[in-house]
Chains A and B, each alone.
Chain A
Amino acid sequence: DIQMTQSPSTLSASVGDRVTITCRASQSIISWLAWYQQKPGKAPKLLIYEASTLESGVPSRFSGSGSGTEYTLTISSLQPDDFATYYCQQYNTYPLTFGGGTEVEIK
């Protein structure tokens, strides 16, 4: 299985901050990577796919980059609605696997 390692596991930030979350794959996933946002009691919401393509309707302050085994999700200016848990997921190889999650909390 491809292991997905996210860091940090928790991130404290303030409104307006630039936030970066990293996801590392145990082998190349050729940019077949998605990022999700999940709020308590809700299903995850797709933000980005194919490492850097913004899902329709997602604010442009979210961006993704990376290739091979290293990927990042950046929020350019954190908004109150962005406090949530973020997951990466590879869909290059079965079984599909998720990172452990990054909780973005209010500083």
Chain B
Amino acid sequence: QLQMQESGPGLVKPSETLSLTCTVSGGSITTYNSYWAWIRQPPGKGLEWIGCISYAGSAYYNPSLNSRVTISLDTSKSQFSLKLTSVTAADTAVYYCARRSRGRGYGYWGQGTLVTASS
């Protein structure tokens, strides 16, 4: 059974960079037609898709985050990562990593990690 786990600092200062890693176990991060995503949820609000990276390493981002986002894949460690630069209080949210296969929704999720942007 595929399992996913987010890790990273729970507190980030405004203007600094938020860095999170998702570790995947129980399956291969290079499985054909798999897409690995970051999705966030501000406290008490809805879900926002941040971006994803494919099994082949192609990345897609939400334009609403402008050029602040980078998602990368580390196949040797079975991990993928999120970097979000120049954070503000508006980036405070629970950050989830998730996986979908082509043609399907996100069937696997991490438990989520709360990141607070505050000085």
Contact = CB atoms under 8 A, between A and B. Distances in A.
Instruction: Tell me what chain B mostly uses at the interface: helix, strand, loop, or mixed.
Output: strand
Contact of A95 (B47, B61, B109, B111): B61
A49 B105 contact: yes
B104 A95 contact: no
Contacts of A94: 60
A22 to B, nearest CB: 16
Q: Which of A36, A91, A96, A101 has the most CB of B within 10 A?
A: A96
A46 B46 contact: no
Contacts of B62: 95
A95 B49 contact: yes
B47 A87 contact: yes
Nearest to B52: A96
Contacts of A55: 105, 107
Given A49-B104, A55-B107, A95-B62, A43 B47 contact: no
Contacts, number: 64
Contacts of A35: 105
A43 B112 contact: yes
A82 B111 CA distance: 20
B32 interface: no
B63 interface: yes
Contacts of B48: 98
Interface in A41-72: 42-46, 48-50, 55
B46 A101 contact: yes
Nearest to B108: A46
Interface of A: 1, 32, 34-36, 38, 42-46, 48-50, 55, 87, 89, 91, 94-101
Interface of B: 37, 46-49, 51-52, 60-64, 96, 98, 100, 103-107, 109-112
Complex A-B, nearest 10 residue pairs according to Cβ-Cβ distance, in ascending order: A34-B105, A43-B109, A95-B62, A49-B105, A96-B49, A98-B47, A49-B104, A94-B60, A46-B107, A46-B105
